[in-house]
Amino acid sequence: MTQAPMLDSEFLAQLLPFNPFDPAFIVSPYPAYRRVREQGRLVRTPAGLWVVSGYELCAAVLRDSRFGWGDGAAVADHFSTAPDGSLVRPFIFSDPPEHTAIRRLVSKAFAARRIDQLRPTAQRLAAGLIAAAREQADDAPVDLMSAVAHPLPGQLLRELLGVPDEHEARFRVLTADIARGLDPSLFLTPDEIAKRDSARAELGEVFTALAERRRSDPGDDLISQLLAVEDEGHRLTMHELQVTCTLLLAAGYATTHGLIANGMLALLQRPAQRDWLRANPDRVEDAVEEMLRFDAPVQMIARMALTEVTLDDHVIQPGEQVMLLIGAANRDPAVFEDPDELLLSRENPRNLGFGLGIHFCLGAPLARLTAQAAVAELAALDIELATGTPPRVPNIIMRSLAELPVRIAGR
Ligand code: HEM
């Protein structure tokens, strides 16, 4: 893994209550989260970052309008400049009223009906990808990341957005560069920062070109709908549209492959759970929610106090940063029985994997149906891990695997 040069462990300890570069943390951050939780559900690092590890407190902050992005200093690296010189913030990083206006427009185009129509496509694609991988692999291990976890969300997102297949390979690289670049720039190498910024610019150009085409020749895709939607006289500018499409692709791709990766790894490491799912295929929806709780692809959400807030007798000053440890909250023993166990039979397992409040994941229905299609197909196979500990991507915020080699019997 590459590490930004000046970050020695003493400096890191000032910033964070765990060392995100520790190889053991990358494999499993949960023991470190447990140690943080033992210090209290709200702690402050020497550098002044507030860290929340309790479920109820994370949920309370996510629902509290006194927390937001403020001037966006912590995420300004993800803003872009429109041709008229104005700054455009992806709506995931903006506060009301800007956030409300854009989210409402995008939600109109992203209608639930349209997403649910993708379910049969997801199931057909998942079955086809797995069949092709089995055929090609012969007796060798199959990498589930390349075979299913990457192409399935990629194809569905391209289908939704109306992006031609020729962009498949490039989009995979660009979205990975953006996902890596979501970690604070302080933790990235100059090369990773440059790749993130050029990936965003390249995607922006692709979406601008596609939008220009759709403007004169509209189709049944999300870009055409985003061009057409209007809410109380508000329409997306061309630059907002480009930034929004880049956000949808980046927010949707790395997260969904992370859910398939983390969920399938957990399942393959627990044959009894796999057997349970095989015996109860109608419970795949709850099973995927439990996978999301158990090892969430988005491990942390940041917020800033917009005004003075008292939490658990601590006074948080305006402008101070708060980090919500979603991965820790989802394993809070105050809320979950046996939190460190993957128990697919949990009824309606709630969790914070898609966030909560005004920024609750807009793509959750799509992510769920994508992961359900993959998990249902894969769990039905006679399949086992081909390696002890599959390599992870080194990201801190976005948790996924670099590879997931498996053996599939009965070819
Ligand atoms: C398993 C897959 C996914 C996970 C775990 C996930 C997780 C999240 C989380 C935790 C947030 C809240 C961020 C915050 O509060 O700051 C979020 C927001 C968002 N997600 Fe997802 N996401 C997934 C898939 C998707 C997909 C497929 C799309 C789109 C196609 C998408 C689009 C968005 C957008 C646009 C937001 C911002 C919403 C807002 O700010 O109002 N996500 N997601």
Distances in Å between the alpha carbon of 316 and those of 13, 56, 61? 21, 18, 12
Q: 253 C-alpha vs ligand 1 centroid, how far in Å? A: 10
The pLDDT score that the predictor gives to residue 374 is 98
The pLDDT score that the predictor gives to residue 1 is 44
In this structure, the residue with its CA closest to atom 11 of ligand 1 is 361
Beta strands 321-325; 50-52: pairing state: parallel
* DSSP helix/strand/coil, 80: strand
In this structure, the residue with its CA closest to atom 17 of ligand 1 is 361
The pLDDT score that the predictor gives to residue 7 is 72
Per-residue confidence band for 5, with pLDDT thresholds at 50, 70 and 90:
very low
- Does residue 333 carry a pLDDT above 90? yes
Does the 28-408 domain belong in CATH 2.30.42.10? no
Mean pLDDT of 72-84: 86
Beta strands 67-68; 50-52: pairing state: unpaired
Q: 352 C-alpha vs ligand 1 centroid, how far in Å? A: 11
In this structure, the residue with its CA closest to atom 6 of ligand 1 is 354
Q: 275 C-alpha vs ligand 1 centroid, how far in Å? A: 31
In this structure, the residue with its CA closest to atom 3 of ligand 1 is 255
- Does residue 6 carry a pLDDT above 70? no
pLDDT tens-digit profile of 306-323? 999 999 999 999 999 999
Mean pLDDT of 93-108: 94
Per-residue confidence band for 10, with pLDDT thresholds at 50, 70 and 90:
confident
- Residue type (1 letter), 368: R
pLDDT tens-digit profile of 357-386? 999 999 999 999 999 999 999 999 999 999
Question: What's the pTM value of the predicted model, to 2 decimals?
Answer: 0.95
Mean pLDDT of 389-410: 93
Task: Say if ligand 1 is within 6 A of residue 301 CB.
Answer: yes
Per-residue confidence band for 72, with pLDDT thresholds at 50, 70 and 90:
confident
Task: Say if ligand 1 is within 6 A of residue 91 CB.
Answer: yes
> Taking all residues of the chain, what is their mean pLDDT, rounded to a whole number?
93
Q: 329 C-alpha vs ligand 1 centroid, how far in Å? A: 17
Q: How far apart are CA 411 and CA 244, in angstroms?
A: 43
pLDDT tens-digit profile of 195-213? 999 999 999 999 999 999 9
Show the tokens assigned to 198: 């050029």
* CB of 282 closer than 8 Å to CB of 396: no
| Nearest-atom index, ligand 1, CA of 93 | 40
- Does residue 267 carry a pLDDT above 90? yes
Q: 298 C-alpha vs ligand 1 centroid, how far in Å? A: 9
Residue with tokens 């560069």: 177
Alpha helices in 145-184 (DSSP H): 151-161, 168-180
